[in-house]
A and B are shown apart, each in its own frame.
Chain A
Amino acid sequence: MRTYEICQRTKIIRMIRAVDIRKSFGETEVLKGISMTFEKGKTNLIIGRSGAGKTVLLKLLVGLMEPTHGEIWYGDDNFSEMGKKQRRAIRMEVGMLFQGSALFDSMTVEENVRFPLDMFTNMTRKEKQKQVDYCLARVELDGANKKFPSETSGGMQKRVGIARSIVLNPKYLFCDEPNSGLDPKTALLIDELIKRITDENEMTTIINTHDMNSVMEIGDNIALLYLGELSWQGNKSEVLDSDNELLQDFIFASPFLQRLRDAALNRNQV
């Protein structure tokens, strides 16, 4: 019974809830009452056109911005009401991949990945090295330890960013446009990597994207934002059948993709 309770609590703890989130910049309301839940062990995608409020929502979720109204819950803890110290404790369990990777230029790949370990753990040098090598191996970057970020490609930088964000074994992983600036093949690799790490570590992963491949490949839970409002929620298998016009316009934006969708639907009907 006790084990069951602990498991249940862990399950709840790793869930993130946004409750009636509003955010204004001056007169402009960017988010207009967003309420949604991000589930544990799943890749939760926030999609939408540029200016829909995706990045603002992500920054609110991790506490880089404060909502004008509403609450953010990490399990049973109200993140919005936490003090700086409590937030730092939560953030120890958070990893984030930034759009521009945000790698420290003056540090090598290895030093970048080791930074959280140096800052927050009392591991020995050997243990840290082992953990760094393990994380770099997970993102298929063995041997890149001594390279500087400027000596690596965009895709490699994203992978280093992922390695750094998982080095402390976080419970929550946030990714802001993980595929931006990458070719489709590399973008797929990054998607697969994030999905695999999410599944293996049972993390709550929240990805902010407008990459359609990501939506169709790894979208366990998908939320479409439109002009600061939650327009649609579902999963990748529900995308094709949805009659939400905004979703269809967004996902199948080009005539080519629309023809593909129609062909797929016709085939299903036959």
Chain B
Amino acid sequence: MLLRSAIARPEKFSMYWKETMRQMDDIGVGSIIIVSIIAIFIGAVTAVQFAYQLDGTLVPRWYIGYIVRDSTIIELAPTISCLVLAGKVGSNIAAEIGGMRQKEHIDAMEIMGVNTASYLILPKVIAGLIMIPILVCMAAFISILGGYLSSVMGGLITHEEYLRGLRSFFSDYNVLMMIVKSLVFAFILTTVPAYQGYYVKGGSIELGQASTQAVVYSDILILLGDYVIALLLTQ
């Protein structure tokens, strides 16, 4: 019902546009550093661990680039990034909306005639749906770069070997899978915290609980969604 109220015709398009831009800045630009740090280590660790597993096998070493690329694109970039974003963005959304509820800001807007479900939630969902796939694509790229830095700079394989791996067996369907995942996860990690914040009752303890629940539920739903999407898209 909250979602139905949220997807309503805006009272004033310009105000929603302004709010969406603000949210895009908060969710997108505000998360670049954390996502980049995580992504670079994801790629680096994947490369090192795969190199360790290849040790003493007949599998060629240039497979490291291929494995880093595909594991990053299919799974690690969208899932790990969105689990982290659920913590950062999700808790922020729940706390922001919950705080507004407690300080009677939402009541004040309702009295003015604002559709608060729409004004407070819709821009966040739209911003998430636009910015999170971009962040995930960026994470995938940085992760592959991380893999390069750790494997080539670390002397595990050569520059040419890593590039050969990167260019082998590429399927653009995997990129589609990454985009689908990031869109679904973006929807989850914006709507679940928004719901938790919007209906928060009580004081600061309850607000903290709502924020925690928002992250926990988002994480569980993201993992569940990851499994379902994997099942559906790999059949």
Contact = CB atoms under 8 A, between A and B. Distances in A.
A63 B112 CA distance: 12
Contacts of A217: none
Interface in A123-163: none
Given A88-B115, A91-B110, A120-B113, A100 B15 contact: no
A64 B113 contact: no
B12 A119 contact: yes
Contacts of B112: 91-92, 115-116, 119-120, 168
B12 A91 contact: no
Contacts of A94: 111, 113
Interface in B73-123: 103-105, 107-108, 110-115
A207 interface: no
Contacts, number: 50
Nearest to B110: A64
Interface residues of A, number: 24
A252 interface: no
B55 interface: no
A225 interface: no
A89 B112 CA distance: 9
A105 B108 CA distance: 13
Contacts of B110: 63-64, 91
A94 B105 CA distance: 16
Contact of A104 (B15, B105, B107, B113): B105
B103 A100 contact: yes
A233 to B, nearest CB: 26
Contact of B105 (A84, A91, A102, A168): A102
A163 B110 CA distance: 17
B11 interface: yes
B108 A118 contact: no
Contacts of B12: 118-120
Contacts of A84: 115
A120 B15 CA distance: 10
A62 B113 CA distance: 11
Contacts of A118: 12, 14-15
Contacts of A92: 112-113
Contacts of B11: 119-120
A96 B108 CA distance: 7
B111 A64 contact: yes
A100 B114 CA distance: 19
A102 B107 contact: yes
Interface in A72-93: 84, 88-89, 91-92
Given A96-B108, A98-B108, A119 B114 contact: yes
B199 to A, nearest CB: 14
Contacts of B114: 119
Given A102-B105, A118-B12, A119-B11, A96 B111 contact: yes
A19 B108 CA distance: 25
B102 to A, nearest CB: 9
A102 B108 contact: yes
A114 B111 CA distance: 15
A173 B14 CA distance: 27
Nearest to B12: A119
Given A98-B104, A119-B11, A91 B111 contact: yes
A120 B10 CA distance: 11
A212 to B, nearest CB: 25
A188 B223 CA distance: 58
B111 A119 contact: no
A102 B113 contact: no
B104 A91 contact: no
Contact of A98 (B14, B107, B115): B107
Q: Which of B105, B108, B110 has its CB near the most chain A CB atoms (within 10 A)? A: B108
B109 to A, nearest CB: 8
Nearest to A87: B113
Interface in B194-224: none
A102 B15 contact: no
16 contacts: A62-B111, A63-B110, A64-B110, A84-B115, A91-B112, A92-B113, A96-B108, A96-B111, A98-B104, A100-B104, A102-B103, A102-B108, A104-B105, A120-B12, A120-B112, A120-B113
Given A84-B115, A102-B108, A116-B112, 10 more contacts: A64-B107, A91-B110, A91-B112, A96-B108, A104-B105, A105-B103, A118-B12, A118-B15, A119-B114, A120-B11
* 4 shortest interchain CB distances as A-B pairs: A91-B113, A102-B108, A102-B104, A88-B113
